[in-house]
Amino acid sequence: MDSFINAADSALRTLFATPRASAVTPAQGMVEADLSPAEKQLSGALMRVNHVGEVCAQALYTAQAAVTKDRQLREHLLAAAREETDHLAWTRERLDALGARPSILNPLWFAGAFALGLVAAKVSDRASLGFVVETENQVAAHLQGHLHRLPEGDLASRAVVARMKVDEERHAAEARASGALTLPVPVRGAMRVAAKVMTTTAHYI
């Protein structure tokens, strides 16, 4: 019961409170670039997508931590969620700096990711970790694509995305080292399709 109360608290804080990072943003001290309107709009859209990704990460890790009976794994998942909270705060700061807004569909994204996390965790801890590996691998590839698309002059956003990519790759490696199950090809494919729908929609809404 305590785990699900914590999950509800995480949902409320993620969706309705201003996230607070425990680590300094990689963008600290960087002067905002003089971006053209088109560049600013692009940076804002890409950072909105990244913010959605962090909303989903909070939901995923919180759901998995609520279900697992392995205390060590629970602490590992909650530690990863705390790190993702930094990402959530950093991407929100970039949205504010760029004059962009978060996705209005964030409650939907959170609910969907939470449900997927519950399903994966119910199968087994190894399946849950396998879901983390695949999710983080896809996120890292997605962030690499954003590094190619972000305006060269938007050094602040680029610094945040680069740091997030390093962290996501580490999360995947840690889950793999903990005994993650390799997910079946159809499952990985379905996850990529779902991610494509989410990122395409969040780019605009």
**What's the CATH code of the domain at 175?**
1.20.1260.10
- For residue 132, give both structure tokens: 């983390």
Cβ pair 110, 11 in contact under 8 A:
yes
Cβ pair 95, 115 in contact under 8 A:
no
> Is residue 61 domain-resident?
yes
Q: What pLDDT, on a 0 to 100 scale, did the predictor assign at position 29?
A: 86
> Is residue 31 domain-resident?
no
> Is residue 118 domain-resident?
yes
> Is residue 21 domain-resident?
no
> Is residue 27 domain-resident?
no
Q: How many domains does the chain have?
A: 1
pLDDT tens column, 134-189: 988 999 999 999 999 999 999 999 999 999 999 999 989 988 998 888 888 888 88
> Is residue 155 domain-resident?
yes
> Is residue 91 domain-resident?
yes
Domain range holding 131?
2-13+36-204
Output the pTM of the full model. Answer: 0.88
Q: CA–CA separation, 83 vs 204, rounded Å?
A: 27
